[in-house]
Amino acid sequence: MEKAQKKSFYLTTFLIGLGFFTMGLMDPLYDSFVPVFLNKYIDLKGVIGLVMTLDNIFAIFLIPIVSAISDRTVTPIGRRMPYIIVTLPLSAIFFALIPFGYMKSLFMLILVIFFLNIFKQSARGPVVALMPDTVPADYRSEANGVINTMGGIATIIGSLFLAKLMDLSVDLPIIGNSKDKLPFILAGFLVILATIILFFTVKEKSREKVEKRPPIFKSIKLIFSEKDKSAVLILFSLLFWFLGYQGVLPFVTMYAMEFIGVTKGTAGISPGMVGLAYAIFAIPSGIVAHKIGRKKTISISLISIIVILILIFLSKPFVDLFSIPASIHLLIFWILLFFFGMFWVSVITNSFPMLWQMATYDDMGIYTGLYYTFSQIAAILAPPIAGFIIDIFNFRMIFIYAIVCMAVAFTLMQFVKKGEPEKVS
């Protein structure tokens, strides 16, 4: 690819990344503070974990269906954009209402969460599918790195800056006292702003008609019946690494509060360490994969994550043995989470392009939907599993659980044969 053309794809990918930016703003605040909000009304962590799976239950159905329908959509503004410009602003509105629901009642909190996740999960598939619609197959790891960087930057803003505003208590017009409200309202505003910029700067490929294709569910069946099982193996690998990830990340804020003894606002920074690494290393991980291969990059990253999880598990007895102050314990925890994020983004950046490499333009949404189906199945199962592990044992045991999940994912990846860029394969 010529240098100027490659630069053009990077710019386009950056603009498409605004869609990921919106998700990156909402997800860390949602994962960090909604469990805390629920804990006001619900004592059992396992039950909180079950409520936290509501978004994933919607995702498992809405993402693949909306993604596949958008494959077959023809409008003057493209096949993905009609869904994006409706669902993302509605997501922003309901996201901003979360703290108001929390302060009203458990019923109102769950009702707001319900509508938020209908619109957010409907948006996710079309947002993600915009990139492979535009970027050539061999450069999707790099492009996915750019997009994940945008998501990581949003996670940093959400976790490191907006999260700190949870403790800010000032009286403001309309919203009243700002405590626990301001981060959600500001994030909602930024989501709407990013959606407007995305709409006016990204132009989809125009096409007058959609070729006749098999029904959606028949297309999915054809993917699973292929002789080469690389796509299926990747899907089950990501099922297990998401089981590990989703079993840990929603609880790191509560872990920092209960095991390290820090305030809600400070503890909320913990997921931001993952987001910070995500933003820094997303693009380099795509470049590395283009040189040494996506499969090898993912495999090395999974082994590294296992080592980091072992260190996190051992950090608490180490701190207690040497009477290390809570401030140092928190620093150790954040450093380990940073390295976790560095290797995690290497897995995420390169797994999606491996699936897209096996897809055609007309079924890109179906492969995107399958990715999210399997990741969301994990996201449904992991929080309650981790929550009940905490209830039965303690917080530290979720790291052992995650280690087992990552080990299974690593083993499955060793049997994948397809999904590499042409210059690597």
pLDDT at 105: 92
- Whether pLDDT at 363 is above 90: no
DSSP symbols for 114-157: HHHHHHHHHHHHHHHHHHHHHS-GGGHHHHHHHHHHHHHHHHHI
pLDDT in tens, 375-385: 888 888 888 89
Q: What is the distance of C-alpha 47 from the center of its chain?
A: 22
Q: For 238-254, what is the mean pLDDT?
A: 92
pLDDT at 271: 84
Instruction: Provide the pLDDT confidence category of residue 213 given band limits of 50, 70 and 90.
Output: low
pLDDT at 425: 47
- Whether pLDDT at 67 is above 60: yes
Separation of alpha carbons 233 and 252, rounded Å = 29
Instruction: Provide the pLDDT confidence category of residue 68 given band limits of 50, 70 and 90.
Output: confident
- Whether pLDDT at 404 is above 80: yes
40-43 contact pairs (CB < 8 A, 24+): 40/102, 41/106, 41/109, 42/106
pTM of the shown model: 0.75
pLDDT in tens, 115-129: 999 999 898 888 888
Average pLDDT, the chain: 85
- Whether pLDDT at 399 is above 90: yes
Separation of alpha carbons 214 and 275, rounded Å = 39
Separation of alpha carbons 138 and 132, rounded Å = 10
Query: Structure tokens of 347?
Result: 């897995």
Residue with tokens 């995702």: 59
Residue spans of the domains in the chain: they are 3-204+220-413
Q: Domain 3-204+220-413 belongs to what topology?
A: Growth Hormone; Chain: A; (1.20.1250)
Q: How many residues does the chain have?
A: 425
- Whether pLDDT at 87 is above 90: yes
- Whether pLDDT at 53 is above 60: yes
pLDDT at 383: 82
pLDDT in tens, 312-350: 999 989 998 888 998 999 999 999 999 999 999 999 989
More confident residue, 156 or 99: 99
Helix, strand, or coil here: 358?
Answer: coil
Residue with tokens 């380099």: 284
